[in-house]
Amino acid sequence: NAGVTQTPKFQVLKTGQSMTLQCAQDMNHEYMSWYRQDPGMGLRLIHYSVGAGITDQGEVPNGYNVSRSTTEDFPLRLLSAAPSQTSVYFCASSYSGQSTGELFFGEGSRLTVL
Amino acid sequence: AQTVTQSQPEMSVQEAETVTLSCTYDTSESNYYLFWYKQPPSRQMILVIRQEAYKQQNATENRFSVNFQKAAKSFSLKISDSQLGDTAMYFCAFTTSAGGTSYGKLTFGQGTILTVHP
């Protein structure tokens, strides 16, 4: 049971380049989300999904795009990378229904934009 | 909007001693969950302890316990018998539970770096 798997774990981009952070979970969780972690700011929600075909914006969605075609996968796309998007990105999933809200996290992806 | 504040950027403690990390939150909701997550140098986010707002009894998990003061909107974490492996960043987090579900949306505090010294 792999849990939540993120790839790549490290990436360096140049300003203006695009890329996709992949996220997959094998726990059959309906809810998936992307967070970014910056020093002194904790983790902030970028986008989230409550099921296949349903996504919504979080606190800091600008510059990012998501889609959810399957229950298992929730990729995060950077359309035109900017230095302000240098961060550590976490994908997370959680059980739907009557739940306690606990998130299961991937190992994180460190992105540097030059 | 909900906010979570951790006012201690860094804390240190000697091995085997007790340390308390502070967290306050602001919300108008009545049903919610509170969490403490641990992030060791490996970067992995690990759930330490969870508290349901409707429960008056403070949650406990082995050496970890919380002091949940609902009226004061305070949620501190006490680590007893500190171990070197407790060295990590600790995040306090909050989620509402409207209809019994949080939709996977958590609000995190800024984090507290805890160092346990031998």
The 10s digit of each residue's pLDDT in A36-79 is 999 888 999 999 999 999 999 999 999 999 999 999 999 999 99
The minimum CA-CA distance between A12 and chain B, rounded to whole Å, is 18
A78 touches chain B (CB under 8 A): no
* Cβ within 8 Å, pair A107-B47: no
Phi, psi for A31 (deg, rounded to 5): -95, 130
Is the Cβ–Cβ distance between B68 and B75 less than 8 Å? yes
Mean pLDDT of chain B: 92
Is B44's Cβ below 8 Å from some Cβ in A?
yes
Q: Which site among A46, A102, A111 would you substitute to test the B interface, given the most B Cβ atoms closer than 10 Å to its Cβ?
A: A102
Position B117 scores a pLDDT of: 97
Residue B96: per-residue pLDDT = 84
Report the number of secondary-structure helices (H) and strands (E) in chain A. 0, 11
The pLDDT of B63-74, averaged and rounded, is: 96
Hey, what are A47's tokens? 């986008």
pLDDT for A98 beyond 60: no
Is residue B1 scored above 80 in pLDDT? no
In this predicted model, which residue has the larger pLDDT, A41 or B111?
B111
Tell me the Ramachandran region of residue B5: left when phi exceeds 0, alpha when psi lies from -120 to 50, beta otherwise.
beta
Q: Which of A49, A103, A109 to mutate to test the interface with B (most CBs of B within 10 A)?
A: A103
Asked if the model's pLDDT at residue A91 lies above 60, the reply is yes
- pLDDT the model gives residue B101: 63
Which residue, B45, B91, B113, is CA-closest to A107?
B45
With beta carbons under 8 A apart, name residues in chain B contacting A48.
103-105
The verdict on a CB contact (< 8 Å) between B110 and A42 is yes
The Cα A104–Cα B71 span in angstroms is 29
Confidence class for position B99, pLDDT limits 50, 70, 90:
low
Residues of B in contact with A5 (CB under 8 A): none
Residue B100 CB coordination number (10 Å):
12
Beta carbons of A98 and B45 less than 8 Å apart:
no
Distance CA A65, CA A4 (A): 20
